[in-house]
Amino acid sequence: MLSSLLARRHLVFGAVAVALATAPLALLAGRQLADQPGAPERGNLAGQTGSPFTSGSTWQYGGQPDSRYVITIYADLECPHCQSYFPALKAWVERQPQTALQWHHLPLPFHEPAATNLAVTAECMGNLAGQDAFWRTIEWIFLNTQGGGRGLPDDLSVPGATAAVRECLISGASKEVVQSQARRAAQEGIDATPTLKLEDRTTGNEIVLSGAVEDDRLLSALDLLSVEKGGGDEAWNDLPARSSASAGSHDLRSYDTTLPR
């Protein structure tokens, strides 16, 4: 489905502009994060060598080793919107062989300390048992947490939480990973969950979308990302730009729109 949309991109750009105009997003047109001072090198998917993607996360799901598109979800494990949206996003990624999903921890202050504690637990599970264990833990937490900062019920513990996991929780290393990702999100101007960062690894274009983005809008956004900036296509200029950019970004183009929850 995605490949056919990409092949017809010149026929659908009107629809793309309309679809994206219904979701809040920040657009980094043709911007290579690797060119920014202090930014990490662009990395690869799980199983390949190289640095992590721009979020600094090592957790990727789905796609192929050479997947063109990467969707990073900035999420809080106590966020009710994330809780309801994550299964749909994961299922959508499973249907897109050219797209991989990456996780970025963003525990929100009003969900603490439960949000960070659960994020650290997922990190420890992944560090000790690998990618599958991380994603299983994320799914299990979303299924069982009470949400809104209340955490897990007192009589529940994460399956597979061995003595080694408990030692990891105490060590503080995984907590620093979670806090580092939260700080990076703040530097990128991302302060709400769920937020998605979509990246086309071929063109280097990126889009940041806020909220529970529907399937067709994800496809439209990936279609827009495939257009080389400055390649003679006017689609990048059809959306109304917001005057201010997110903190720390100099060439960011932003768009003010509203996405229904």
| pLDDT tens-place string over residues 181-215 | 999 999 999 999 999 999 999 999 999 999 999 99
Q: In the structure, what pLDDT confidence band is assigned to residue 253 with cuts at 50, 70 and 90? A: very low
Half-sphere exposure of 86 (CA within 13 A, CB side): 26
Residue 8 above 90 pLDDT? no
- Distance spanning both ends of the chain, measured CA to CA: 26
Angle at 160 between CA 106 and CA 179, to 5 degrees: 20
**Class for the domain spanning 2-255:** alpha beta
3: helix, strand or coil? helix
The set of residues, in sequence order, having a beta carbon less than 8 Å from that of 122 and lying 6+ positions away, is 77, 134, 137, 138, 141
Q: List pLDDT tens digits, range 134-174.
A: 999 999 999 999 999 999 999 998 888 889 998 999 998 99
